[in-house]
Amino acid sequence: MHFNDEYVDFHCHPSLKPFGKSFNYTPAGIHISHRNSKRSIWHYNPPSIFDKLLNYVTGLTKFSQANFTSLVKGGVGIVCVSLYPLEKWFVRNKMNNELLLDLAANFALGIGDKRIDYIQGINDYFKDVEAQYDFYMQLDGKIVQLPEGKFRYKLVKSFTEIEQIKNQNSAEEKVHTICVILSIEGLHVLNTGLRRPFSEVEVLTNLEKIKNWEFRPFFVTIAHHFWNQLCGHSESLSGIILKFADQSEGLNSGFTSMGRKVLERLVDNTNNKRIIPDIKHMSIQARKEYYEMLDSGNPKFKNIPIIASHAACNGLKSFEDPVAVHHNTASKLNPVFINFFDQEIIRIAKSKGIIGLQLDERRIVNKKTRKNTKNSLKRNKIMHYRSELLWNQIQHVAEVLDAEGLFAWGCMVIGSDFDGIIDSLNGFWTAEELPYLADFLERHAHNYMLSHKLVNPENVINADEIIARIMSLNGQNFLKDYF
């Protein structure tokens, strides 16, 4: 059986649920190779009808979306996995009744009540990120026998390694390998953001440890959902969770002096150990400050591609002038500030950076568009209507870049955010459905290209090439240049 393994996903959380479930046992953090175990990254748990219904009504996702079996079935050969210690302010929040609090958080994430208890009492995020790193290390390269054949995942340090593994794969075809690139979401992992003073020495020491890991993270998101005393965040929560979790502290602020020190160390490329900052979750103020640093002429900030690993456009022109220019697409987008402005998309493209398109319905379109999306009981119609929500993002990026005289199709990839706290596109529940997503996107691309208004001749390409770029080639080219 030959698997397509061409797809690249720039952002997902395969270990969030199995690592969480490992806390139901002593010692915690033990990674089981057998796929029947909920402590295995290979544990296959496709959504039932009830799961889908629950997700449809509440937006909560209990099932696993990015377990490695689903990635294999979905043709993902390269994946950027995110290490992420849940912030305790998800579970230490405005709900006072402990039982309710446990139930809500456990229900929302499916990570297990023992893990929730641990997060409630956590006082060292760094220890937790080390345990997550170790969780991946435990089964690195270990061959797992699935009904579909022999599989393994391999942590990788460079694009050269990926190429070697791919060549080996096609030579042997006996063991199928997923190449795993590490990233981190939220620099609270350095042990800040605990609503108490932090130790500068400890923070910088922790950063050095991460930079010296055998499998150093390729990029890290500086900000996340709550104030981490380093960098201001954008409002990111909605629905049930927002009612109970308070994001107000540090919201929309810029970098602190400690944050700037951390950023400088992060991008320092001594011994080729640079870690690229990921601008997702940064506040507008923090993004402005970061762009100023990139433009400052400081040699440390030279030639850094801008990464937004799991992103969406908001349809507005710029920070200073938040109006819609490309009305056709912009009118359907979600105009929130965690999403990116046209000016930023242009900047990302010019920096030879990357936009990972996330698959969260609440992020990629506004409420009105979502409400007006046609419904159907037929699976292929649901997939057609829901994939159009993502196509709208793709078309917006393309038209913004085309109007600027730039190549329109070169900086988009998939950054699904599967197994993050997302409400994925209905019909495309897990990584297993990515081939269907590619097919439906190609259909939208084909229809668009029949009557497009693109000006730059290099942007007039075939629909299949557009989608091959987004699902695979752009990601591989970016990794070839920077990883």
Domains of the chain, start order: 7-482 (3.20.20.140)
DSSP at 88: G
- Provide the mean pLDDT of the chain: 93
Q: What is the pLDDT of residue 95?
A: 60
Which pLDDT score is estimated for 280? 98
**How far apart (Å, rounded) are the C-alpha atoms in residues 312 and 423?**
14
367-376 long-range Cβ contacts below 8 angstroms, 24+ apart = 369/332, 369/333
**Angstrom distances, CA of residue 52 to CA of 12, 48, 72, 424, 451:** 20, 6, 21, 10, 36
Burial 330-348 (b: 16+ CB within 10 A, else e): bebbbebbbbbbbbbbbbb
CA 63 to chain centroid, in Å, comes to: 17
Q: What is the pLDDT of residues 48-58, one digit of tens each?
A: 888 888 777 77
Query: Tokens 């919201």 label which residue?
Result: 251
Q: Tell me what pLDDT residue 483 has.
A: 97
The whole-model pTM stands at: 0.95
Question: Which tokens hold the place of 88?
Answer: 């305790």
Q: What per-residue confidence (pLDDT) applies to 170? A: 60
Q: Tokens in use for 44?
A: 């296959």
pLDDT at residue 107 in the model: 61
- In this structure, the strands spanning 144-146 and 149-155 are antiparallel
Taking the C-alpha atoms of residue 123 and residue 298, their distance in angstroms, rounded to an integer, is: 36
Residues of the chain with pLDDT under 70: 1-3, 59, 92-109, 169-173, 239-242
Widest pairwise Cα distance in the chain:
62
Among residues 355, 421, 418, the alpha carbon closest in space to that of 59 is found at 421
Is the distance from CB of 84 to CB of 186 less than 8 angstroms? yes
The amino acid sitting at 407 is F
d(CA 259, CA 186): 12
> Do 9 and 415 touch, CB atoms closer than 8 A?
yes
Distance separating alpha carbons of residues 38 and 32, to the nearest angstrom: 8
pLDDT confidence of residue 276: 98
